[in-house]
Amino acid sequence: MDLGEKLYELRKAKNLSQENVAEQLNVTRQTISKWETNQSTPDFDKIVPLCDLYGITPNELLKGETFEQGDSSNVENKEKIKDHLFTRGKEDDYENMTRNQIKRKSAEVISGSVFIFIFAIVFASLGIIVFKWDPIVVGCTFLLLIGLGVTNIIKHFMSIPKFEKTEEEKKEDIIINQINGIIGAICVVIYFLVSFATFAWHITWVIFIINGLICQIVKLLFMLKDDNKNIENK
């Protein structure tokens, strides 16, 4: 019996649904399905929770064997388990990530995109005002950089499996939306004031890029706050 079949039989023996197991392990139902159909194997940090849930040892799950508490091969067996299960390049395998891992990944993606946005704005400002480069070339490069940052964010958030949000996360989303709504309104007022005062309509639209940048920074700050909170709770 292979690992997937064993996980399926153990779950059925406990009379649990894939949703029940996914909820207790903090993964998606699709992840449990992939484990049971051998499309993927559980990450190392999921083996102990799985074994606790099904009432077996890691060695029983992986090899159908048991080892004594004081067995000298204990460490060696654990290392073999680790080698077998340590992720096989699953850095972007969202289905096998926990909620906290996805939050950290989101923070990394947003941080990278924010850097790209800032670099694009600085590049455009220096290119046109200081170095007097061709505005068309600078403008095209600026838009390409902004497009790259936006694409990274869209690709990431479209790849995230749907988790049921906690009450705290729902409240946090409301706060973020309210803050970003206020920032957006302020940016619109600034846009019209600056545009009518300078008549530089061809330049002032950059204010909306800055607005998007600030909104992403707000989201990033909340993610970092949550990550720090999780670290403190460990």
Reported pTM: 0.56
Residue 194 lies inside a defined structural domain of this protein: yes
Query: Is residue 174 included in any domain, yes or no?
Result: yes
Q: Which of the four pLDDT bands, split at 50, 70 and 90, describes residue 119?
A: very high
Q: In this predicted model, what pLDDT tens digit does every residue of 220-233 receive, in sequence order?
A: 888 887 766 665 55
Q: 61: domain CATH number?
A: 1.10.260.40
Are residues 131 and 202 both part of a single domain? yes
The verdict on residue 93 lying in a domain is: no
- Among 47, 63, 85, residue at a domain's last position: 85
Q: Is residue 47 part of a domain?
A: yes
- Domain containing 145: what range? 98-233
Average pLDDT over residues 93-115: 82
Do the beta carbons of residue 183 and residue 154 sit within 8 Å?
A: no
- Both 127 and 56 in one domain: the answer is no
Residue 83 has pLDDT above 50, yes or no: no
Q: Is residue 70 part of a domain?
A: yes
Asked if residue 53 and residue 109 are part of one domain, the reply reads no
181 or 200, greater pLDDT: 181
Which of the pair, 168 or 228, is modelled with greater confidence?
168
Q: Write down which residue in 24, 54, 85 finishes a domain.
A: 85
Same domain for 162 and 66: no
User: Are both 107 and 152 inside the same structural domain?
Assistant: yes
* pLDDT > 70? residue 77: no
State the average pLDDT over residues 182-186: 95
